[in-house]
Amino acid sequence: MRSDLDNPSKPRVWLTGASYGIGRAVALEYALRGAFIGLTARSEDLLSDLLSEIREAGGDGLVLAGDVKDLDAMHRNAETMRNHAGGIDILIANAGSHLPSEVESFDAEQYMGLMSLNYAGSLNCIQAVLPEMLKAGRGHIVGVASLAGYRGVPSAAAYGASKAALIHFLESLRFHIEPKGVEVTIVNPGFVRTPLTDKNDFKMPFLIEADKAARIICNGIQRGRREITFPFLFASFIKLLRIVPMSLYIALMKKTWKRMQQG
Ligand SMILES: NC(=O)c1ccc[n+]([C@@H]2O[C@H](COP(=O)([O-])OP(=O)(O)OC[C@H]3O[C@@H](n4cnc5c(N)ncnc54)[C@H](OP(=O)(O)O)[C@@H]3O)[C@@H](O)[C@H]2O)c1
């Protein structure tokens, strides 16, 4: 599938979760490619600093601070971006967080809180751009989910469920909007070094740096990939685990998790 945007090399990109981590690296990568980038996150000061860096690197954009859980704020951000840039070619719904799932302190409200950020937050941004994209008959929606969304993994009951929901939603949405000219890309990273993973107290196999992840994501989007998974070996292993029978999956995952905890 090829991107059918007017000028794929200089897209107008609205990116959430842009203030640090993978989002920040994606913003800088797009800056090198000369894009116009709308930057959303809650930390307005970090976004302002990032915008200066983007301009130095040859890109341009604007700060669209806000909480993705606030639907009205996301509508306002999308409107501001359209007014400034004349449109939105690509939405990258990347804002998200992680909550290690401890059974002893299980709290349904906390789990739903993560769902409202990782899942509903992405949906809010999609709602803010989709009608205009459908009207124009073109556009590209990118959702950043996770390899943890494929099957249940230890310590990720809350996180994995929210990412599984996002993957499922986007896979279904695609059937309705691709025939009308709006592309869908699902990004499923493995472990990437960011403030999110800095909190993990286990060994993360095939951990990669955020700038490398950003290059893979931007290349994949530019090529119109429907799914972007990385790093290759780890993603292939996790994908294979999707099709093994439950008893074998449990045995393999227990062994892998034990190794990861041993460091
Ligand atoms: N790192 C990994 O290994 C990995 C692997 C698979 C998938 N992912 C996914 O990739 C995405 C980025 O992860 P990351 O590792 O870069 O995480 P991160 O370092 O924690 O960065 C998260 C970003 O999301 C923003 N954010 C958090 N809550 C928000 C809210 N309510 N409204 C708006 N923005 C919000 C944060 O900015 P503010 O705090 O300023 O709002 C920050 O810019 C997430 O969806 C994550 O689940 C990451």
pLDDT in tens, 181-231: 999 999 999 999 999 999 888 899 999 999 999 999 999 999 999 999 999
Does any ligand 1 atom lie closer than 6 A to the CB of residue 43?
A: yes
Least confident of 23-27, 85-89, 122-126, 152-156: 152-156
Q: Phi and psi for 218 in degrees, rounded to 5? A: -65, -40
Q: How many helices (H) and strands (E) does the chain have?
A: 10, 9
From the options 3.40.50.300, 3.30.1370.140, 3.10.290.10, 3.40.50.720, give the CATH code of 12-262: 3.40.50.720
Supply the pTM of this predicted model. Answer: 0.96
What are 103-151's pLDDT values in tens digits? 788 899 999 999 999 999 999 999 999 999 999 999 999 999 999 999 9
Does any ligand 1 atom lie closer than 6 A to the CB of residue 189?
A: yes
Q: Which ligand 1 atom sits closest to the C-alpha of 42?
A: 41
Please report the pLDDT score of residue 228 as a whole number: 98
pLDDT mean across residues, the chain: 94
What is the SS3 assignment for 189?
strand
Least confident of 5-14, 32-41, 69-78, 177-186: 5-14
Does any ligand 1 atom lie closer than 6 A to the CB of residue 212?
A: no
Report the alpha-carbon distance of residue 6 to residue 139 in Å, rounded: 10
Question: Quick one: which of 180, 152, 173, 182 has its CA closest to 164?
Answer: 152
Active-site residue numbers?
159
- Atom 23 of ligand 1, residue of closest alpha carbon: 17
CA dihedral 194, 198, 199, 202 (to 10 degrees): 120
Please report the pLDDT score of residue 5 as a whole number: 46
